[in-house]
Amino acid sequence: MNGAVLTKTETDMEWLISPEQLKKELSQVVLVDVREPEEYEESRIEGCKLIPLGEISSRALRELNPDDDIVLYCAHGVRSLHALMALRQLGFEKLRSLDGGICAWQEQGY
């Protein structure tokens, strides 16, 4: 998938997870925060692993298992989709991005 670009139809439902669905699946997924450390310090979803977007390609194969169901999140859902594309290029397949990011998660009161 070198240089692949996600189309809107590809990213719609297959690669997105709603805050409500994530809440139900939280104990069954590996949660990765792709924001910067200072954002992580302000707020985070309990149990997540911090791997900033700029480090995702260099750290993923050492710190993540391609067989795991991985959910990525950022502030609003843009950076996590970029991280998803980077991980797909490394061979990861079981990936989803939190729709609306941590802001949507917090709006739901979680």
Domain ranges (residues) in the chain = 9-107
- Return the H-helix or E-strand segment holding 49: strand 49-50
User: Under the phi-then-psi rule, with left for phi > 0, alpha for psi from -120 to 50, and beta for the rest, what region is 56?
Assistant: alpha
Q: What's the confidence (pLDDT) of residue 42?
A: 96
CATH of domain 9-107: 3.40.250.10
Quick one: CA torsion of 39, 95, 92, 45, rounded to 10 degrees?
30
Mean pLDDT (whole number) for 38-50: 97
Mean of pLDDT values over 44-49:
96
Q: For 13-27, what is each residue's pLDDT tens digit?
A: 689 999 999 999 999
Q: Please tell me the chain's helix, strand, coil percentages from 3-state DSSP, rounded to the nearest 5.
A: 45, 15, 40
Amino acid at 32: V
